[in-house]
Homo-oligomer: A and B are copies of this chain.
Amino acid sequence: MKKIAVLGYGVVGSGVVELFYKNKAKIEKNTGAELDVKYILDLREFPGDPYEDKVVHDISVILNDPEVCYVAECMGGVNPAFQFVSSCLEAGKSVATSNKQLVAEKGDILLQLAKKNDCNFFFEASVGGAIPCIRPLHTCLAGNDISAVAGILNGTTNFILEKMFCDEMAFDDALKLAQELGYAERDPSADVDGADACRKVCILASLVFGKHVYPDSVYTKGIRDIALEDVQLAQTFGSAIKLIGSVKRLEDGRILPAVMPMVVPSDSLISHVDGVFNAVMVWGDGFDKTMFYGRGAGKLPTASAVLGDIIDAVKAAHTVTSHEWILADNTDFIADMDAFSAPRFYRTAACCADAAEQAAAALGLEVCKTAENGCIVSACDNKTAEAFAKALEEAGASVLAQIPVLAD
């Protein structure tokens, strides 16, 4: 029998233990192996918990027990998770983690450690919660050249934007509701300012393009500036506003990772992803495009992904060769927003139809949509977008908001 240790008995860790025992027989059949949870590492005691006898406080108990082959890291944060996970991998124990910060900041080191010790460092739960996306990206889609990934990677902001869209709530009211429902933290910054989505972009970009992308290389803008009027104008254009995390390979071979609010037309399936759900759209040469959708967070959804990784670790005889990326010695492969191009949405204080037509013609752009108080123009870079905004201003239509449009 092979044993599992769970690090951290909070929301996700307790979900992993609960789901494992609920479906133990199925999991053993799936893996063809007898399995059990032997230890739960936590600073706290859990008197009365059905698994209280498994709780230990010292990682060395786990490290020194050769029966423990698989470790689920559900602690969160970089320290001491990084040190614990490193030690587990050095001891040849495969690790599955739900800790996106750990993967985004230390993924390259931990993947190399796993390879060196012929075990695995898996992190399906770190992007999109329950959604199978990390594994399909490097298995099912492995025959393709993947060119771009874009998606809704944060459920809290998606819930807030949906409340603005469907219930005409202002940002502050929608945030307050999200906090009341437990979808947003008291300090909501990591969600609404984009840091959480940024970490997930780092992980997706690193996996798809093979070199570690750190959070400080990713242009990151949250949703605090989105006004109800922006959402309403987008709606009249048949679009929604979503916080989109994306990475795209440019023609010069560099990649451009970014997190920002985008206008998403209703013919993109992403625009219909509502509530706390997440979705990851991927583009490649053979399959064209494919999308993965599901719950991006929560106790059992996240546990589902961690357990899927543990199950795969049991089945893998060696390090999975496709599940890796390398440390890059520079960031020359990452482009900045000067290289960004997209159609643009403008909200204006006065009717801008005539001004938009004139400015667009002068700048070689096309006006795709116009309304009483705004327009959408065809794809351009940031410099042209600013020139267009300036032309609108000069024609008396002050620009109140400018948002890029996600082209499918």
Contact = CB atoms under 8 A, between A and B. Distances in A.
Contact of A23 (B23, B143, B274, B321): B143
A211 to B, nearest CB: 13
A273 interface: yes
| Copies of this chain, whole number | 2
Interface in A227-286: 267, 269, 272-274, 284-286
B143 A136 contact: no
A285 B310 CA distance: 17
Given A130-B286, A288-B294, A305-B140, A321 B311 contact: no
B130 A311 contact: no
A289 B277 CA distance: 10
Contacts of A291: 291-294
A269 B312 CA distance: 29
B285 A289 contact: no
Interface stretch (A44-52, A296-304, A344-352, A391-399): A296-304
Given A30-B138, A138-B30, A303-B143, A131 B290 contact: yes
Interface string A124-145: 1000001110011011111111
Contacts of A15: 286
A141 B129 CA distance: 12
Interface in A302-332: 303-308, 310-312, 315, 317-318, 320-322
A140 B137 CA distance: 12
A29 B311 CA distance: 24
B308 A140 contact: yes
A295 interface: yes
A20 B143 contact: yes
A88 to B, nearest CB: 20
A19 interface: yes
Given A141-B132, A142-B30, A287 B304 contact: yes
Nearest to A319: B32
B289 A294 contact: yes
A287 B26 contact: no
A320 B20 CA distance: 21
Contact of A290 (B142, B288, B294, B318): B294
